[in-house]
Chain A
Amino acid sequence: MRSLGRTRRKAGEALTAWALLTPSLIGVVLFMLVPIAIVVWLSFYRWNLISPPRFVGLANWVGIMTNGRFANSLLVTGAFVLIVIPTQTALGLFFANLLHRRLPGSGFFRTLYVLPWVCAPIAVGVMWTWVLAPSHGALNTLIGHRIEWLSDQALALPSVALVSVWSQVGYVTLFFLSGLGAIPETITEAAQLDGAGRLRIFWTITVPLLRPTLFFVLLTTAITAAQTFDTVYVLTGGGPLYATDVVGARIYYEAFQNHEFGSAAAMALVVFILLAAMALLQKLYFDKRTTYDLST
Chain B
Amino acid sequence: MAKRSQVVATVVAAAIVLGGAAAIIAPKLGGGSSDDAVVTVKLWDEAVAAAYEDSFAQFTEAHPDITVEVVVDPWATYWDNLVTDVAGGTAADIFWLNTFFTTYADNDNLIDVGAELGDGAADGWDPAVVAQYTRDGKLWGVPQLADGGKALLYNADLLADAGLNDSDLEGLAWSPTESADTFVDVAKALTVDTAGRRGDDPEFDGSALAQYGYNAAFDQDAIIFNYVGSNGGTWRTEDGFEFASDASAEAIHYAVDLVTRHHVAPSAADTNENGNFSKEQFLQGNLALFETGLYNLKEVVDGAQFTWGVAPVPAGPAGARTVTNGIIAAGNAATNNKEATLEVLRWLGSQDGSTAIGASGSAVPAVLDARGAYTAFWDAQGVDISPFFAGETFTLPVLTSTHAQEAEAEYTPIFKSMFLGDTEVDAGLRDAQEKANAALAD
In the complex, chain B residues 388-442 whose Cβ is within 8 Å of any chain A Cβ: 405-406, 409, 413-414, 416-417, 420, 422-423, 439
Encode contact with A along B70-87: 1 for CB under 8 Å, 0 otherwise.
000000000110011011
Tell me which of B2, B3, B84 contacts A49 (CB under 8 A). Answer: B84
- Within 8 Å of chain B (Cβ to Cβ): is A7? no
Main secondary structure of the interface of A (DSSP, over half): loop
Given contacts A50-B109, A153-B422, A242-B413, 10 further A-B contacts (CB under 8 A): A20-B9, A22-B16, A22-B17, A49-B84, A134-B267, A152-B269, A240-B413, A257-B80, A258-B409, A260-B406
- Within 8 Å of chain B (Cβ to Cβ): is A112? no
Give the nearest-CB partner of B212 in chain A: A135
Residues A19 and B269 in contact, CB atoms below 8 Å apart: no
Complex Cα–Cα for A129 and B2 (A)? 60
B interface, CB within 8 angstroms of A: 2-3, 5-6, 9-10, 12-13, 16-17, 20, 79-80, 83-84, 86-87, 103-104, 107, 109, 207-209, 266-270, 272-274, 405-406, 409, 413-414, 416-417, 420, 422-423, 439
Residues B13 and A20 in contact, CB atoms below 8 Å apart: yes
Find chain A residues with CB under 8 A from B16 CB. 22-23, 26
Question: Closest Cβ of chain A: how far from B79's Cβ, in Å?
Answer: 8
Residues A241 and B417 in contact, CB atoms below 8 Å apart: yes
- Within 8 Å of chain B (Cβ to Cβ): is A256? yes
Residues B104 and A50 in contact, CB atoms below 8 Å apart: yes
Encode contact with B along A5-23: 1 for CB under 8 Å, 0 otherwise.
0000100110110011011
Given contacts A12-B2, A50-B109, A240-B416, contact A134 B269 (CB under 8 A): yes
Question: Closest Cβ of chain A: how far from B219's Cβ, in Å?
Answer: 16
A interface, CB within 8 angstroms of B: 9, 12-13, 15-16, 19-20, 22-23, 26, 48-51, 129, 133-135, 146, 148, 150-153, 236-242, 253, 256-260
Find chain A residues with CB under 8 A from B103 CB. 48, 50, 259
Residues B208 and A146 in contact, CB atoms below 8 Å apart: yes
Residues A257 and B406 in contact, CB atoms below 8 Å apart: yes
Could you show 10 A-B contacts with beta carbons less than 8 Å apart? A15-B10, A23-B17, A26-B16, A133-B270, A133-B274, A135-B267, A150-B269, A240-B413, A240-B422, A258-B405
Question: Closest Cβ of chain B: how far from A221's Cβ, in Å?
Answer: 27
Question: Closest Cβ of chain A: how far from B253's Cβ, in Å?
Answer: 19
Complex Cα–Cα for A87 and B263 (A)? 38
Tell me which of B86, B109, B409 contacts A257 (CB under 8 A). Answer: B409
Complex Cα–Cα for A29 and B406 (A)? 34
Find chain A residues with CB under 8 A from B3 CB. 12
Residues A19 and B12 in contact, CB atoms below 8 Å apart: yes
Complex Cα–Cα for A60 and B339 (A)? 42
Find chain A residues with CB under 8 A from B104 CB. 50
Tell me which of A23, A148, A236 contacts B13 (CB under 8 A). Answer: A23
Give the nearest-CB partner of A25 in chain B: B13
Question: Closest Cβ of chain A: how far from B419's Cβ, in Å?
Answer: 10
Find chain A residues with CB under 8 A from B109 CB. 50
Tell me which of A135, A152, A241, A259 contacts B83 (CB under 8 A). Answer: A259
Residues B80 and A256 in contact, CB atoms below 8 Å apart: yes
Tell me which of A16, A239, A242, A256 contacts B272 (CB under 8 A). Answer: A239
Residues B423 and A134 in contact, CB atoms below 8 Å apart: no
Residues B414 and A241 in contact, CB atoms below 8 Å apart: yes
Tell me which of B272, B409, B422 contacts A253 (CB under 8 A). Answer: B409
Give the nearest-CB partner of A135 in chain B: B270
Given contacts A49-B87, A50-B107, A257-B405, contact A237 B273 (CB under 8 A): yes
Give the nearest-CB partner of A134 in chain B: B269
Complex Cα–Cα for A153 and B422 (A)? 9
Find chain B residues with CB under 8 A from A253 CB. 409
Question: Closest Cβ of chain B: how far from A220's Cβ, in Å?
Answer: 28
Find chain B residues with CB under 8 A from A258 CB. 405-406, 409, 439
Complex Cα–Cα for A257 and B12 (A)? 44
Given contacts A19-B6, A49-B84, A259-B405, contact A241 B422 (CB under 8 A): yes
Complex Cα–Cα for A259 and B86 (A)? 13
Question: Closest Cβ of chain B: how far from A86's Cβ, in Å?
Answer: 28
Find chain A residues with CB under 8 A from B209 CB. 135
Complex Cα–Cα for A12 and B2 (A)? 9
Complex Cα–Cα for A236 and B209 (A)? 23
Tell me which of B10, B84, B272, B274 contacts A19 (CB under 8 A). Answer: B10
Give the nearest-CB partner of A241 in chain B: B417
Find chain A residues with CB under 8 A from B207 CB. 146
Residues A239 and B270 in contact, CB atoms below 8 Å apart: no
Find chain A residues with CB under 8 A from B270 CB. 133-135
Question: Closest Cβ of chain B: how far from A204's Cβ, in Å?
Answer: 48
Given contacts A134-B270, A241-B422, contact A256 B83 (CB under 8 A): yes
Which of A15, A240, A253 is most buried by chain B, counting CB atoms within 10 A of its CB?
Answer: A240
Find chain B residues with CB under 8 A from A146 CB. 207-208
Residues B107 and A16 in contact, CB atoms below 8 Å apart: no
Tell me which of B13, B17, B20, B273 contacts A150 (CB under 8 A). Answer: B273
Complex Cα–Cα for A23 and B13 (A)? 6
Complex Cα–Cα for A48 and B209 (A)? 45
Complex Cα–Cα for A258 and B405 (A)? 7
Find chain B residues with CB under 8 A from A48 CB. 83, 103
Complex Cα–Cα for A230 and B406 (A)? 21
Give the nearest-CB partner of B83 in chain A: A49
Complex Cα–Cα for A134 and B422 (A)? 16
Find chain A residues with CB under 8 A from B406 CB. 257-260
Tell me which of B10, B13, B87 contacts A50 (CB under 8 A). Answer: B87
Complex Cα–Cα for A45 and B83 (A)? 18
Question: Closest Cβ of chain B: how far from A10's Cβ, in Å?
Answer: 11
Question: Closest Cβ of chain B: how far from A55's Cβ, in Å?
Answer: 17
Residues A16 and B83 in contact, CB atoms below 8 Å apart: no
Give the nearest-CB partner of B280 in chain A: A136
Find chain A residues with CB under 8 A from B417 CB. 239-241
Give the nearest-CB partner of B414 in chain A: A241
Question: Closest Cβ of chain B: how far from A121's Cβ, in Å?
Answer: 16
Residues A135 and B420 in contact, CB atoms below 8 Å apart: no
Question: Closest Cβ of chain A: how far from B409's Cβ, in Å?
Answer: 4
Complex Cα–Cα for A13 and B103 (A)? 57
Give the nearest-CB partner of B284 in chain A: A136
Complex Cα–Cα for A271 and B414 (A)? 27
Question: Closest Cβ of chain A: how far from B252's Cβ, in Å?
Answer: 17
Question: Closest Cβ of chain A: how far from B84's Cβ, in Å?
Answer: 7
Question: Closest Cβ of chain B: how far from A65's Cβ, in Å?
Answer: 17
Complex Cα–Cα for A184 and B390 (A)? 82
Question: Closest Cβ of chain B: how far from A8's Cβ, in Å?
Answer: 11
The 10 A-B pairs at the shortest CB distance, nearest first, are namely A49-B87, A151-B269, A148-B269, A19-B9, A19-B13, A22-B13, A134-B269, A257-B409, A256-B80, A241-B417
